[in-house]
Amino acid sequence: MASAEFTTQLTDGSTLRADENALRLLVVARSPDPARSTLAPSETWIGVGGPHCEARSCTSPIARTTDYYPASGVDEAGQGRGEGVSWGGTLKGGTDYYVTWEAVVNVKAKWDDAQLCVLPEVKPCIPLGEVTKANGVR
């Protein structure tokens, strides 16, 4: 996980309700085997849930908002430049790719121990770590 942040607006400019925040994640993705390529995950297979989750029902759906970009194609703000790899495309083995994911979450939700999980399997998961708050976050 490169970073996790709550914001008050989705990347596409959509406004959220008063009881919602956007959870924006900058994620580093790589093939599990450095010698082999893998397919970029589709947003239908990613979710955020707490460590108590044992079923898909306790996850929040999350959507990819950027393509997958190799480190050489990402600027200091985490924005991709040039042509990225879309979901279902090939991620080369031994290469780190950066992708931004976003979810709409309730402002009262507890995210202290939240994890990013690949669904439909809930484990293994990656802890989100500290989630920062952008200006104006409730």
The pLDDT value given to residue 66: 85
Q: Is the pLDDT of residue 54 over 60?
A: no
Q: Is the pLDDT of residue 3 over 60?
A: yes
pLDDT digits (tens, 9 = 90+) for 30-39: 888 889 998 8
In 3-state terms, what secondary structure has residue 58?
helix
**Backbone phi, then psi, for 57, in 5-degree steps?**
-65, -15
- In 55-114 the beta strands, taken as DSSP E runs, fall at 59-61, 63-64, 69-70, 90-91, 97-106
pLDDT digits (tens, 9 = 90+) for 55-106: 444 556 677 788 888 888 887 766 788 888 988 889 999 999 988 888 888 7
Phi-psi region of 135 (alpha: psi -120 to 50; beta: other; left: phi over 0): beta
DSSP secondary structure code for residue 56 in this structure: G
Rounded to whole angstroms, how far apart are CA atoms 138 and 128? 19
